[in-house]
Amino acid sequence: MENQRLKVVDAEDTPLWKQKEGTYKNLVSTKRTWHLIRQAAPIVNWHTGIWFQQATSKYAFCTWLALHNRLTTGDRMITWSSSIDPACIFCQHGIEIRNYLFFECVFTAAVWTKLTRGLLGTHFSTNWHPFSACKQHFGLQGPISGSSCLSNLTTLALAGKE
């Protein structure tokens, strides 16, 4: 038993990184690691409207959270603590949920209307479908281009302005 213990102690540790199922090497690859730990999903057609080269990271991330309905809104915070006021921060009337916060609140609907009327005329909506409404207006069939006016408007409208 003592001989076995000495063999284990004297051996040098070698870190091994999983390359694929059942294969380990001492070569690390962040790309391989990322693909092993994440759950793959199909590419969505609006991704270039959010994640484009000139995008401000924090606004793109906030827009991504909004699209996935993962913003820290009143309806979500009330589940964490009953002392939270879930009312809309702008008008104090409706419960602060994503759709209400961005389009249904009287204040934010007025901001959205003012912001988009100059670019879209009367072809816009105060509902939570800005990408499909804009794509329909501009007759776009494929993905929204990251460098387009439309994507910059949508990112600005949904995520804020620096």
pLDDT 10s digits, 94-144:
889 888 888 789 998 888 888 888 777 777 767 766 554 554 444 444 444
Q: What does the mean pLDDT of the chain come to?
A: 75
Q: DSSP per residue over 88-135, as a string?
A: -TTTSSSB--HHIIIIISHHHHHHHHHHHHHHHTT---SSS-HHHHHH
